[in-house]
Amino acid sequence: MDQSELRDWEARCIQEEPPACRAACPLHVDVRAFMEAMAAGKTAAARKVLERTMPLPGVLGRICDHPCEAACVRWDMGGALAVGALERFCVENAQAGPKPLVLPAKGKRAAVLGAGLAALTVAWDLARKGYGVAVHFREDAPGGWLCGLPESLLPPEVLAAEVAVLARMGVAFAAGQALSRDFLASARSDCDAVFVEYGAGAAPDRACGLCPASRADVDPVTLAMAEPGPFFGGWPGPDGAFSPMSCAADGRRAASGMDRAMSGASLTAARDKEGACPTRLVVRTTGVPAVPRTVPADPRTGFSPAEAAAEASRCLSCECLECVKVCAYLERYQGYPKTYARRFYNNAAIVKGHHQANRMINSCSLCGLCTEVCPESFSMADLCLTARRDMVERGRMPPSAFEFALTDMAESDSEACALAMPAPGAETCGNLFFPGCQLAGASPDTVGMVYAHLRDTLPGGVGIRLGCCGVPGRWAGREDLFAASMARFRADWERLGRPRVVAACATCLKTLVEAAPDIPAVSLWRVLAGETGLPEGAARAAAEKRTLAVHDPCASRHDPQSQAAVRDLLFRLGVTVLEPPLTGRFTECCGYGGLMWNADPDMAKTVAGRRAGSAPGDYAVSCAMCRDMLWRAGNRAVHLLDLIFPGKGALPGPEVSAPAGLSARRRNRAALRRDILAAVFGRKEEAMEERDGPVVDISPEVLALLEERRILDVDVRAVVARAEVTGERFLDKATGRYLAAARRGNVTFWVLYESRDGAFTVHDSYCHRMDVPGASQGPDARTDQRGEDHP
Amino acid sequence: MSMEPAYLPDPGEWTCGRCGGPLVQSKVEVTYLGSVFAVILPACPACGLTMVPKSLAEGKMAEVEALLEDK
């Protein structure tokens, strides 16, 4: 990612766009922060917020005509925030802060003709920037039309106090000046920049004085008629009245132009954010209750402190965060996509040091929900995948991040597990059943039943392909592995006569559709619902009427036809379907997607727990991994195929049978290949796992620990086999147990076991990746099938 | 990257399972991703077998592996 790509990514996240109120304010007062302080009763802090942006805050805070209120998102939910009244409350009740900081003198002078709000704003802004400013006016005291406001609205001492602040900032005031054309001409020759306020030098026949009569007479961006000035401002509205905000905005814009002119900068470049401007911020208010405006008990005195806090607390604190609201992963890292893009960019830029964002980059589930809810369709999946590929290309991918999954993928595609067969008795097939490696591992018997049903009912012959779609490679940033896996798939597909693929796994289907659009593919659910119908024996059981919540796999997000087919099948099975809050196009990931489960198991548990926790009931799922993850998170999720093909499943039914673990899934895949070959194609093959070393006894408790540590029974058996052959092991004389190690791929596995009468009982196992001389003996050819792991 | 220099076996009466001899705390150089650390681990001086106790593998060693992977 280069700088411009980063900026493109950042620009698509709108979280830092200003709220509507701030955008509508010509001075961009941070109304949201102001309201937050006011709601907390922190009036002094709120005044500081005003003072950050407002000129003459004591004056403007009292008379602001609050154009922000018309833009307030609360408008239709009880009425806009009373921003103007709260500003007034704030400046009346909080001490003024210290004199604004003034930059060191720049050695340039500006003349201001007129002393109304626009002129005083020019003086305020330029003095802060270090310019020498002299304010010239005809009257005895500065203020212009401000002096005509009712005392109750603007007490004269408040105006005097702000004028005194200006004087302390170095602004000179010259009263009683006859502001003639000659005066202007000499000011222009004596000073580096000149501002002329509407009405300065007014005559009975010319109320505007030296200023053009209308804003339309000047350049709307620079407020000048010609470069380099003079600059103008402070026009009244069409009704002849002066808008305080409009005058202050004129003053700010003119001062900005004068600053640019005096420092030799462009008068027009990058000024689109000055003044009231549009914002891209989107605030979804669904479900926000209406709260009416707070009405002061005594309208004459205005808000009491409690009333002011109550009114301010109606502020919605507008922000987007649509994606963060629906994603535990985005929430975890306490930022939002714009900041994450920057973090990823910085992470890639680190040459020496700690790459703090590695885990974050690697643990996004790539589920795409953020893109669906984002008003700008920001895709964290694309951002993370780009970063992962970049890490792989630069050799910066942490070796352990995805290794287990990639090894698992290689195993699925290995000779022992993979299979590609035509329709029995034929050379090709019209349909190719592709259960996917996870369903094959989790429910091999069901795969066999589905295949039989498809063969019985689908015309054109049905072949079968066991193996992986390659998506773990893509998720891991290993496009090479993905391409190789896809090439194997394509070769099989060509050889089998270019059949239509019937995919049981939503991820396999999505992967095929995206990577091989010329290969016709359809979900098993659409085939079952629309072509074959349910088999005899499907559990359309009135006796056990079920109500289940449907969980759409995240990979089916953009496949409404398959989602509808799943619901149709559930309906035909007699299941009453409930929809979780996030469903269909907005479904959530179970925690497996994108290999989140590999890169950050705790995050995956959180995600699965959240999905399980938001379920209105037990889930019906159509993905083997969803079932696995949700079941382990405490939801008695049932796979749709277990309802359609209940088989000889042990009572009390599929909901309570634990999903197959990692070791079992590996075994199941190999067994499925053998069983299909034998049962359907009449070919008997020797079981390969018999070569995996001695049979060991592992209790369910120990096995569960091993699975948490991503240690497989084949790893354990290889260690024991090696120890038994070489005698290389340690003995604990207190217990009679052995501790032995073997290096498999990039990992050294240790096993604590005992041997009794030729039987081996495993008590514990752990592993490490560091290479330790004397403890990292390489694999033994006789006992090891694992081979080299993928880095 | 600091690694405590010496690690004892986890509880037990550990001996070399091959020669039956006692284990001696011995210096070995462990490596990962190009980094080398000298540590003192229980080993059989006769057979050359080195023990990595579980407490080390799942503790400091895992921590340092993660640090090196993110370096």
Helices marked H in B21-71? 54-56, 62-69
**Cβ within 8 Å, pair A768-B29:** no
Instruction: Write down the pLDDT at residue A571.
Output: 93
Instruction: Write down the pLDDT at residue A363.
Output: 96
Nearest CA in chain A to B47: A728
Instruction: Write down the pLDDT at residue B2.
Output: 47
Instruction: Write down the pLDDT at residue A788.
Output: 41
Query: A105 CB near a chain B CB, below 8 Å?
Result: no
Please compute the mean of the pLDDT values over residues A681-685 and round it to a whole number.
92
Query: A346 CB near a chain B CB, below 8 Å?
Result: no
What is the tens place of the pLDDT at every residue in A717-768? 999 999 999 999 999 999 999 999 999 989 999 999 999 988 999 999 999 9
pLDDT band (50, 70, 90) for residue A29: very high
Instruction: Write down the pLDDT at residue A227.
Output: 75
User: A719, A770, A776: best mutation site toward chain B, by most B Cβ within 10 Å?
Assistant: A770
pLDDT band (50, 70, 90) for residue A692: low
Q: Is the model's pLDDT at A656 over the cut of 90? A: no
Q: Is the model's pLDDT at A787 over the cut of 60? A: no
**Cβ within 8 Å, pair A771-B31:** yes
Instruction: Write down the pLDDT at residue A352.
Output: 83
Q: Is the distance from CB of A252 to CB of A274 less than 8 angstroms?
A: yes
Instruction: Write down the pLDDT at residue A340.
Output: 97
pLDDT band (50, 70, 90) for residue A785: very low
DSSP 3-state of A382: helix
**Cβ within 8 Å, pair B52-A775:** yes
Instruction: Write down the pLDDT at residue B55.
Output: 96
The rounded percent of chain A whose pLDDT value lies above 70 is 96
What is the tens place of the pLDDT at every residue in A58-111? 999 999 999 999 999 999 999 999 999 999 999 999 999 999 999 999 999 999
Spell out which residues of chain A touch residue B41, defining contact as CB-CB under 8 Å. 772, 775
B16: closest CA of chain A, how far (Å): 5
**Cβ within 8 Å, pair A768-B61:** yes
**Cβ within 8 Å, pair B28-A773:** yes
The token pair at A412 is: 């699925």
B10: closest CA of chain A, how far (Å): 10
User: B27, B54, B55: best mutation site toward chain A, by most A Cβ within 10 Å?
Assistant: B54
Question: Residue A689 corresponds to which amino acid?
Answer: E
Q: Is the model's pLDDT at B57 over the cut of 90? A: yes
pLDDT band (50, 70, 90) for residue A538: confident
**Cβ within 8 Å, pair B52-A729:** no
CA A149, CA A523: separation in Å to the nearest integer?
Answer: 74
Taking phi over 0 as left and psi of -120 to 50 as alpha, with beta for the rest, A386 belongs to alpha
Please compute the mean of the pLDDT values over residues A540-549 and round it to a whole number.
67
Spell out which residues of chain B touch residue A738, defining contact as CB-CB under 8 Å. 17
Nearest to A748 by CA among B4, B41, B23: B41
**Cβ within 8 Å, pair B52-A727:** no
Query: A731 CB near a chain B CB, below 8 Å?
Result: yes
Please compute the mean of the pLDDT values over residues A500-521 and round it to a whole number.
97
Please compute the mean of the pLDDT values over residues A681-695 and round it to a whole number.
77
Nearest CA in chain A to B43: A774
Of B32, B57, B64, which is closest to A771 when you measure between CB atoms?
B32
pLDDT band (50, 70, 90) for residue A404: very high
Contacts of residue B63, defined as CB under 8 A and 6 or more positions apart, other chains included, come to none
Query: A735 CB near a chain B CB, below 8 Å?
Result: yes
Helices marked H in A327-379? 328-332, 337-349, 358-363, 369-373
Tell me which DSSP letter residue A376 carries: T
Q: State the pTM of this model.
A: 0.87
Instruction: Write down the pLDDT at residue A650.
Output: 43
Instruction: Name the least confident of A287-301, A334-348, A682-696, B21-35.
Output: A682-696
Please compute the mean of the pLDDT values over residues A218-238 and round it to a whole number.
92
Nearest to A271 by CA among A287, A283, A256: A256
Query: A764 CB near a chain B CB, below 8 Å?
Result: yes
Nearest to A161 by CA among A199, A128, A120, A197: A120
CA–CA distances in Å: residue A579 to residues A411, A567, A655, B65 = 36, 10, 18, 44
Phi, psi of A767 (to 5 degrees): -150, 160
pLDDT band (50, 70, 90) for residue A124: very high
Instruction: Write down the pLDDT at residue A546.
Output: 82
Instruction: Write down the pLDDT at residue A658.
Output: 84
**Cβ within 8 Å, pair B50-A775:** yes
pLDDT band (50, 70, 90) for residue A688: low
CA A491, CA A435: separation in Å to the nearest integer?
Answer: 18
pLDDT band (50, 70, 90) for residue A542: very low
Spell out which residues of chain A touch residue B69, defining contact as CB-CB under 8 Å. 358, 398-401
**Cβ within 8 Å, pair A773-B71:** no
Mean pLDDT value across chain A = 93
pLDDT band (50, 70, 90) for residue A274: very high
Q: Is the model's pLDDT at A647 over the cut of 80? A: no
Please compute the mean of the pLDDT values over residues A495-522 and round it to a whole number.
97
Q: In DSSP terms, which residues pair with A257 in a beta bridge?
A: none
Please compute the mean of the pLDDT values over residues A167-195 and round it to a whole number.
96
Instruction: Write down the pLDDT at residue B4.
Output: 52
Nearest CA in chain B to A354: B71
Query: A768 CB near a chain B CB, below 8 Å?
Result: yes
Spell out which residues of chain B touch residue A747, defining contact as CB-CB under 8 Å. none
Nearest to A631 by CA among A655, A595, A601, A602: A655
What is the tens place of the pLDDT at every residue in A50-61? 999 999 999 999
pLDDT band (50, 70, 90) for residue B1: very low
The rounded percent of chain A whose pLDDT value lies above 90 is 88
Tell me how far apart the terminal alpha carbons of chain A are, to the nearest angstrom.
23
User: A730, A731, A739, A777: best mutation site toward chain B, by most B Cβ within 10 Å?
Assistant: A730
Q: Which residues of B7-20 are buried (b: 16+ CB within 10 A; e: fewer)?
A: bebbebebbbbbee
Spell out which residues of chain B touch residue A737, defining contact as CB-CB under 8 Å. 12
Nearest CA in chain A to B45: A774
CA B32, CA A763: separation in Å to the nearest integer?
Answer: 28
Please compute the mean of the pLDDT values over residues A513-541 and round it to a whole number.
90
Please compute the mean of the pLDDT values over residues A161-182 and round it to a whole number.
96
**Cβ within 8 Å, pair A398-B18:** no
Spell out which residues of chain A touch residue B66, defining contact as CB-CB under 8 Å. 398
Helix (H) or strand (E) segment spanning residue A676: helix A662-681
CA–CA distances in Å: residue A372 to residues A282, A284, A400, A554, A584 = 14, 14, 31, 11, 11
